[in-house]
Homo-oligomer: A and B are copies of this chain.
Amino acid sequence: MEIKKIRIGQTITDYYFGASLSQLKNVADKKHSIILTDEHVFEACKSKLKGWNTIVIKAGEEYKIQQTADTVIDSLIEMEADRKTTLIGLGGGVITDLAGYVGAIYMRGIRTGFIPTSLLAMVDASIGGKNGVDVEVYKNLVGTIRQPSFLFFDTSLLQTLPTAEWQNGFAEIIKHAAIKDAAMFRSLKEHDAAWYQKKKSELAALVRRNALLKTKVVQLDETEQGDRKLLNFGHTLGHALENQYELSHGQAVSIGMTYAAHLSEALLGFKQATALVKLIDQYGLPTYADFDRTKVFDVLKHDKKRERSNLHYILLQKIGKGVVHTLPLTQVKQLIEQI
């Protein structure tokens, strides 16, 4: 187990790489910790959770809402959680977002730690302190930005992950490569998801590389004034699609990246759109899609990245070099209609 102490803003977060869930007792005190998890993860990790206090909620993005936060808070009261309690989120992005949010508002903030169990949560969702819940069709409309006290990476937890979950993770990994890491883009081209699933140490190294890549972006810009916006590559359109259609986050982001690549082509002369679309496809993710432009742009109007009638849209100059562009909503709509 490797420990890395990383400062983001005022908080120091301990990153435990190459960890195993059975070592959690060395990181958090059983008596003063409460683990928040979902039914699926609880079932899968049951034997390792003996003796830990747990709050188990239903699994699924549809439960990432205020009402669930309310019931978690009720459970914390019942369990007499106080300012010395650590709330540990064990699960995918829904769980770490919820745990981070409840931990930020319960008693105006208690200690939190995350144990991501999905590839997406390991490389993206659990990192950077953004937390929250969805409101109606608007993702993460309510939440805070607050760093956890620790992040605990046990890649053996990924073994039972369904295919769709692997895809979700790889969508964000491809995103990282596209905006910041051309070398990783090249090595991703040489393999596919099935290869990484078999190669334990290569997978652990990929997770570590992506977790640290995202961390570095967040470190330099915790409150998303500049560079952190790059992480929204594929997400502006992606979020709008995700809530209008039955798409996973990874699928929606992949379609978003595809259209953003073509916008980059039209606006910045980006030349590697075909290569990016090919890589997305290679990892089993969708690219082009038929969607109701009017409906989706109606959701975009409410996107958090919107300021008045402009969108902060993330484009690529080349692979490894993302840039933030401010575009009128109407122009984005026009260009996307042409693709």
- Chain A residues in contact with chain B, CB under 8 A? 66, 70, 73-74, 77, 80, 82-84, 104-109, 130, 132, 135-136, 138, 140-145, 301-302, 304, 306-308
- B77 near A138: Cβ-Cβ < 8 Å: yes
10 shortest interchain CB distances as A-B pairs: A105-B142, A107-B304, A108-B143, A108-B145, A84-B307, A108-B144, A82-B306, A66-B70, A105-B144, A73-B135
Considering the chains assembled together, what is the distance between the CA atoms of A130 and B108 in angstroms? Answer: 8
- B109 near A77: Cβ-Cβ < 8 Å: no
The residues of B that contact A141 with a CB separation of less than 8 Å are 73, 77, 106-107
Chain B residue at minimal CB-CB distance from A81: B302
The residues of B that contact A74 with a CB separation of less than 8 Å are 135
Chain B residue at minimal CB-CB distance from A133: B105
| Nearest CB of B to A230, in Å | 17
Contact A140-B108, Cβ < 8 Å, known A82-B306, A304-B83: yes
| Nearest CB of B to A310, in Å | 11
Contact of A104 among B73, B144, B301 (CB under 8 A): B144
| Nearest CB of B to A226, in Å | 14
Contact A132-B144, Cβ < 8 Å, known A80-B302, A138-B77, A302-B77: no
Contact A77-B304, Cβ < 8 Å, known A108-B143, A141-B106: no
Chain B residue at minimal CB-CB distance from A84: B307
| Nearest CB of B to A15, in Å | 23
The residues of B that contact A70 with a CB separation of less than 8 Å are 66
Considering the chains assembled together, what is the distance between the CA atoms of A107 and B303 in angstroms? Answer: 10
The residues of B that contact A143 with a CB separation of less than 8 Å are 105, 108
The residues of B that contact A109 with a CB separation of less than 8 Å are 144-145
| Nearest CB of B to A253, in Å | 19
Chain B residue at minimal CB-CB distance from A104: B144
The residues of B that contact A104 with a CB separation of less than 8 Å are 144
- B308 near A82: Cβ-Cβ < 8 Å: yes
The residues of B that contact A106 with a CB separation of less than 8 Å are 141-142
| Nearest CB of B to A156, in Å | 33
The residues of B that contact A77 with a CB separation of less than 8 Å are 135-136, 138, 141, 302
The residues of B that contact A66 with a CB separation of less than 8 Å are 66, 70
- A304 near B135: Cβ-Cβ < 8 Å: no
Considering the chains assembled together, what is the distance between the CA atoms of A142 and B301 in angstroms? Answer: 30
Considering the chains assembled together, what is the distance between the CA atoms of A323 and B29 in angstroms? Answer: 31
Considering the chains assembled together, what is the distance between the CA atoms of A135 and B307 in angstroms? Answer: 34
The residues of B that contact A302 with a CB separation of less than 8 Å are 77, 80
A-B contacts, 17 listed (Cβ < 8 Å): A66-B66, A73-B135, A73-B142, A77-B136, A77-B141, A80-B302, A82-B304, A82-B308, A104-B144, A106-B141, A107-B142, A108-B140, A108-B142, A108-B143, A108-B144, A108-B145, A144-B144
